[in-house]
Structure 1
Amino acid sequence: MSKVGRQTWKFSRGASVLATGTVAGTVEGKGPLGTDFDLRISDDHFGEPSWEKAEQKLFESAAKIALDKVSLSDGDLDLIVGGDLNAQLSSFYFGLRAYSTPLIGTYGACSTVTESLAVAAMAIDSNNVNYALVGTSSHNSTAERQFRYPTEYGVQKPPTAQRTVTGSGVVVLGSKPFGEMRITHATIGKLVDMGISSPWEMGAAMAPAAFDTIQAFFRESGMKPKDFDCIATGDLGYIGHELLAEMFRDAGMDLGERLTDCGMLIYDREQPEVYSGGSGGACCSLVTFGHLLDNLSSGVWNRMLVCATGALLSSVTVQQGETVPGICHAVAFERVSAENTDGGTKS
């Protein structure tokens, strides 16, 4: 691995994508990507007595699905990296407490999945890890109770609000270059605070952070937008997405139709109570692992840049009148061609 510029890591071999596991909630399963997910639950309680236990089961189930696809078990893993939106990462830790694998909990709000992918890819590329499990989860009802603000159910929400995704997305990464896809770069984001204080305008709060990180990636990697078939942000929603597209147009860099957002893709805009689109820790992981990677593995795309975005607020900071800083971490995925399996990344 080499550091390119101030924020970007270029992996010498990359981390191979071996398998994914996705479990979607009821609303997500009825959305336009529903058939792309491995499991669609029919009740968001998922057979559990509390929303929190349901989210833990989402994480546990997605992990099992991914591992079963490549006939791996807990004992084969060297590292688990991931997180969620709940206090003390309880869904991550409690959902995977049956595992004996070393694990690192990460938190970047809804940017946690690419933060976790960057950490795991670095561990693999440095020859310290052979197999890593990476994932995130979220649940609409646990987020409404713990993370979102106001927390009272029944509060009328404005059109700028977003719906927290219920689900979990997990990926198994490996060190050997035999996977169809691999992670080649990661750009670690910086805090960007534009002074937005409304918790209902997270897309607007996160869009400047996405702009900053994506610019840093292209500046430091030497690659250009035309080198990518898809540039997907994590959960800006319709409003944040349009703001980001406008920022790039104003900067003389029109990304066109290759720029999309997981928060827009996961729901049909006509579905009830999805507002400006999806959000939450599982928004980017479900769409990326359940849908976007399929376009790479099938050969429709050759490269994509996934840029998960996070609004770093809490109910406490909102009540204290703080602004909402945004952050975005980007990870580049590449399809491995038959002539490029020696572990080196393409230029």
Structure 2
Amino acid sequence: MVIIFQSKPSIIASAAVAGPLERKSVFYSYFDSVVEDERWHQTTNEQGNAKMIEEACQILLKKANLNNLDIDFFLAGDLVNQMTPTNFAAKEIAASFIGLFSACATSVSSVIIACLLTELGASKYAIAGASSQHNSTERQFRYPIYYGAQKPATAQWTVTAAGFTLIGKHNPKNPSIVAATVGKVVDYGQTNPFHMGAAMAPAAYDTITKHLEKRKQTIKDYDVIMTGDLGKIGLEILKRMFAETGATQEELNIFRDAGAEFYGEDKSFLAGASGAGCSASVYFSYILQQLKDGRYKRVLLVATGSLLSPLTFQQGETIPCTAHAIEVTME
């Protein structure tokens, strides 16, 4: 489903914070804050995740010269059971709260709902975004951290990061969201939780294709189409899918992926980065800055999510995936 936003809601402000290992990210200089403790000086990883969310939101509010009482809605999610870090952070933010789970696609699904609320006139200011914390996520979806299990080359590293935006009424001085595509669930039968790129690439292809068709656009209408988080392998699969439909090399070069680029060429991170906070921190820092600086005029941000759980994996189920897109422009 493609949605056209007639009022063109704007991204009034944004913030991205990250953990200590994320200093190795090629996007490090664009982050607003990097903490030296993975747990954010809290007792547990989950408490650290919540604190990270709170910090990102406070930085965002400070940039916008607003406070918590000015916020109508808080729309967010993470990867922990029942999204408890986000729930606890929402208690401190104290705005009307809608918790969202689209796995790593939450960075964009939250923005889409914020734009819908703005379009309806129900919201003046809404905070939208997502986060992930490495230790809590890895422990839940794969193995306990201290187990020291070896990962295959197709695996991706869950980042500790949070990215949030403040969505408000149209302002030509800020990047605006003119359209969005809410993706369907796509399942190509992948069962390997260490090969997320292969599972999610078809969902990204489906969403991008539908967005371009409905908008009567081509790949070249964008300065960049950035997915997240397919990783290095998933990005190549996505490019091959488009190449098979006739995309030229010039067009394929427009495709980028937050997970593939996050840690650069450091092979210790295998196929790249992942986690709901990966695309959120890249989109809501680096990409928005390129738009504000005039380097980009139009971008398509496509967040992908693997909708599995530890239980479905143990039951031998396949991995259903989705991808949501927002078209962001700078007038």
The interval holding the TM-score normalised by the smaller chain is over 0.9
Q: Which residue of 2 aligns with 1:343?
A: none
Deviation at 1:178, TM superposition (A): 4.4
Query: Using the alignment, how far apart are the partners of 1:151 and 1:203 within structure 2?
Result: 22
Q: Which shows bigger deviation, 60-69 or 96-105?
A: 96-105
Secondary structure, aligned partner of 1:13: coil
Are the equivalent residues in 2 in contact too, given 1:28–1:166 (CA < 8 A)?
yes
Aligned to 2:257: 261
Q: Secondary structure at the match of 2:108?
A: helix
Is the CA contact 1:17–1:179 (under 8 Å) kept in the aligned structure 2?
A: no
RMSD: 1.2
Gaps of 5+ in 1: 1-6, 337-347
Distance in 2 between the 1:209 and 1:298 partners?
A: 31
Within-5 A mapping of 1:100-249: 100-146=94-140, 148-151=141-144, 153-249=147-243
Task: Give the deviation of 1:125 after TM superposition.
Answer: 1.3
Which amino acid counterpart does residue 326 of structure 1 have in structure 2?
C
Is 1:39 the counterpart of 2:27? The answer is: no
Tell me the alpha carbon deviations over residues 36-71 of structure 1, each in whole angstroms, 9 at most, x when there is no partner: 100011121211111111111110000000110011
Please tell me the residue identity of whatever aligns with 2:287. L
In structure 1, C-alpha distance between the alignment counterparts of 2:280 and 2:261, rounded to whole Å: 12
The unaligned stretches of length 5 or more in structure 2 are: none
Q: Secondary structure in 2 aligned to 1:85?
A: coil
| Higher fraction of helix | 2
1:100 CA drift (Å): 2.5
1:293 counterpart SS class: helix
Q: Does the alignment pair 1:20 with 2:14?
A: yes
Instruction: Measure the CA separation in 2 of the matches of 1:56 and 1:178.
Output: 33
Q: Bigger CA drift: 18-27 or 232-241?
A: 18-27
* 1:6-17 alignment runs, 5 A limit: 7-17=1-11
Contact persistence 1:25–1:41 (CA under 8 A)? yes
Whole-Å Cα distance in 1 between the matches of residues 94 and 142 of structure 2?
35
Q: 1:106 to 1:179 in 2, by over 3 A?
A: farther
2 CA distance for matches of 1:195 and 1:178? 44
Counterpart for residue 320 of structure 2: 325
Amino acid at match of 2:264: D
TM-fit CA distance, 1:14: 1.3
1:286 aligned residue (281, 289, 301): 281
Determine if contact 2:109/2:324 at 8 Å carries over to the other structure: yes
Q: Secondary structure at the match of 2:7?
A: strand
| Distance in 1 (alpha carbons) for counterparts of 2:170 and 2:7 | 9
Preserved contact between residue 31 and residue 266 of structure 1 (Cα < 8 Å): yes
Deviations 1:87-137 (A, max 9, x none): 111111112212231111111110011111111111111211111101111
2:79 corresponds to: 85
